[in-house]
Chain A
Amino acid sequence: MARITFAQAFADAVYLSFSNDPNVLLIWGSFFGLSQYRSLSDRFRKEFPDRVAFTPTSELGNCGIAIGAAIAGARPIVPVGAASFIFRAWDQIQHEAAVARYMSNGMIKAPVVFHMLHGIRGGGGPQHSQSPQAMLWNCPGLELVMPSTPYDVKGLFRAAIQSDNPTAFLVHPKLLDVEGEVPDEDYAIPLGKADIKRDGKDVSLVATSLQVHTAMAAAADLQAMGVSAEVLDLRTLRPLDRDALAATARKTGRVVAIDDCPPHCSTASEIAAIVSEECFRELKAPVERVTRMDAPIPFSPLLEDYVSPTVDKVVAAAQRALAYPKSAGD
């Protein structure tokens, strides 16, 4: 067990995947963007030169190449860089990868890991800040993994690369610096197992990826106000741990869903719908959503902060839920 960064834990997981399985291929791209961690990828290139291919700037072509290689027996990883670029590859992911197994009646598989750096990153502006998880959640046949901690990124990546399904693996660039305890040995965290990151009884904050940290900070603020908040990290959206979601909703009766997608059909919207369908009688307040506002992401910091999900917005949403029904119909 060592205390390492999220970026290091992620690089270790990729390295382990190369070492353990000769079928792992890298369709070259940027795991760590332009961050200080980008040199962590050098090791794959040096030690597995035959399995690392350098690509042109061709998101659609690169993803298609990875899917075809997977159909022919490989387990490719294709880092597309900023998740904003995944839209350029959408056709191959939605129409080929996500349906390949289904359409073949289970005879073939396309186990690609599509890695991308999603979310509001600070200065990314309208074209480098996208969070496509809600749209990816709308692709049946595609697994969707959104780790929040160094421990989770290692174990979830190891599960994703071994899965026979295509997987979208979304990492928030602001998580790369986060430190945590990570076992030295190999381990996989089963996909579809949510994790309670903080135990509480008054209100449940449900999130993935970076927003788990927003939720944790909000929970600390709420604690100071005498409110006990539970933080549920869903970890993966497909498969979804519906049992864990329903359990926390039933336990506290109040749910705040946090997401950095825009509000309409966001992941927060789907979480709200599921909780309402499954736990309506146990709820003490309507499910609150904290999402990015319905606007493109602006460049300048105050503008960016204004439209982002923030700790203060989560605290306010939790307080609204706690005040219900007192505030209703005033």
Chain B
Amino acid sequence: MDKGISRPYALEALEGLLLIRRFEEALFQLWKDGKFLGHYHLYIGQEATGVGAIQALKPADMIFTTHRNHGHLLARGTDPEPMMAEILGRETGLLGGRGGTFHLADPAHNIPHTSGLVGGCIPLAAGAAHRFKSCGEDRVSVVFFGDGAMEEGVTFEAFNIASLWRLPIIFVCENNDPTAQGRPANDRIPGAIAATHLDQIPKSLSMTTQVVDGADLAAMRAAVMAARKACIAGEGPVFIEAVTKGWPGSATQWPDLSKTGRTDLGMAWGAKPIPDSYRTWFEDEDPVLRFCREQVAAGQLDGETISAHDARITQRIAAAVERALAAALPSGARALDHVLAEVR
């Protein structure tokens, strides 16, 4: 059952998966309690994609992401407290309250800028890759985006340039809902894209592509590791389609945690029964339960270890929420800071 993940990596992965799941669950509660404005997007159901992919990267690699970014930052090691504070619009937020949930970014961890516009970061990531290549640096650029970005014109332009210039960039298309809106699973996507498979598009531009089960952490990690190696060898770019089933609580407008509830990890090792409602989700699709189930079955992690990690992480998130809520909102006049850089 070991898919090339050693125990230290498995523990690191568990940390990332649980941080994301507990963060997003806490965020739902904050929204339900009316603690922040605006709509928002949760990464529940896609944790294994981001954690597996980011485990395969080096600290110097640069990551660009989307409106559904929380998981990518947490997987990269960003402190959840300033993330939570940013989503709550606090002065202590990652961006001083200027970006909110759509734009979480962490330049210190090489996640410099997050676009909330569909496909917005795809050319930016290609530009960073161009910079790395022109400087002869052994760095890659990675951009995460949803399947919806494949419908945007800017994506074609960036794919074409990246392929023409053989840029060291990994395009990670998180196909997070192939069954939604009448879309048969990763087959034909009526009304959105005329291609029958998303990877036909990069393939037509001579790009190396790979379709991966996005809920399989080890597979994601291996795919990105291979893609990174190819990019460094000058064989980029690489397009990876990470296919995940949509979390039942995912919705176009507002996420709904009440359907599947707060995740009880005991379901992964038989300590808790699996309910009849959303049984497929709990048994097969939830990537966090799946990872735990596989690790327990392989004898690499046990329920006790996982539960201990979960308790610590749950406590960490609760503390982050508490401190973020206690922080002040930035005063109105701060809105004019940083519009333009000072003249040098």
Contacts and interface: CB of A to CB of B under 8 A. Distances in A.
Contacts of A64: 122-124, 126-127, 154, 157-158
Interface in A93-121: 95-96, 100-110
B117 A95 contact: yes
A24 to B, nearest CB: 11
B125 interface: yes
A96 B338 contact: no
B161 A68 contact: no
A102 B98 contact: yes
Q: Which of B115, B165, B337, B341 has the most CB atoms of chain A within a 10 A radius of its CB?
A: B341
A7 B340 CA distance: 29
Interface stretch (A71-79, A216-224, A257-265, A311-319): A71-79
A162 B338 contact: no
A58 B95 contact: no
Given A62-B161, A165-B340, A105 B96 contact: yes
A58 B157 contact: yes
A55 B339 contact: no
B161 A58 contact: yes
B113 A61 contact: no
B344 A164 contact: yes
Contacts, number: 156
Contacts of A53: 130, 134, 165
B128 A71 contact: yes
A65 B132 contact: no
A155 B157 CA distance: 34
Given A53-B130, A56-B164, A73-B131, A61 B154 contact: yes
A303 to B, nearest CB: 33
B153 A69 contact: no
Contacts of A74: 131, 134
Contacts of B131: 25, 68-69, 72-74
Given A61-B154, A62-B161, A92-B154, A68 B343 contact: no
A56 B127 contact: no
A68 B123 contact: yes
B344 A96 contact: no
B255 interface: no
Contacts of A192: 343
* Residue among B94, B96, B124, B125 facing the most chain A CB atoms (10 A cut-off): B124
B169 to A, nearest CB: 10
A61 B158 contact: yes
Given A51-B134, A65-B124, A101-B340, 8 more contacts: A61-B157, A62-B161, A65-B161, A69-B134, A72-B62, A103-B99, A140-B339, A190-B343
B105 interface: yes
A91 interface: yes
A227 to B, nearest CB: 37
A163 B344 contact: yes
Interface in B208-237: none
Interface in A105-147: 105-110, 140-141, 143
A143 B344 CA distance: 14
A66 interface: yes
A239 interface: yes
A67 B338 contact: no
Contacts of A105: 94-96, 98, 337-338
Interface of A: 25, 50-51, 53, 55-56, 58, 60-74, 76, 91-92, 95-96, 100-110, 140-141, 143, 162-165, 190-192, 238-239
B340 A56 contact: no
B205 to A, nearest CB: 11
Contacts of B132: 72
B160 interface: yes
21 contacts: A58-B160, A60-B123, A61-B161, A64-B127, A65-B126, A65-B130, A69-B134, A72-B62, A72-B131, A74-B134, A96-B113, A96-B124, A101-B340, A102-B338, A103-B95, A103-B105, A104-B107, A105-B98, A105-B338, A106-B338, A238-B340
B120 A91 contact: yes
A56 B338 contact: no
Contact of A71 (B124, B160, B165, B338): B124
B137 to A, nearest CB: 9
B68 interface: no
Contacts of A69: 127-128, 130-131, 134
Contact of B127 (A66, A108, A109): A66
Contact of A101 (B62, B134, B338): B338
Residue from A25, A63, A96 whose CB has the most chain B CB atoms within 10 Å: A96
A163 B344 CA distance: 7
B113 A103 contact: yes
A108 B115 contact: no
Contacts of A101: 338-341
B4 interface: no
A92 B161 CA distance: 16
B235 to A, nearest CB: 19
A140 B134 CA distance: 30
Nearest to B129: A68
B113 A71 contact: yes
A72 B140 CA distance: 11
A53 B166 CA distance: 12
B103 interface: yes
A100 B160 contact: no
Interface in B125-170: 125-132, 134-135, 141, 153-154, 157-158, 160-161, 164-165
A128 B120 CA distance: 26
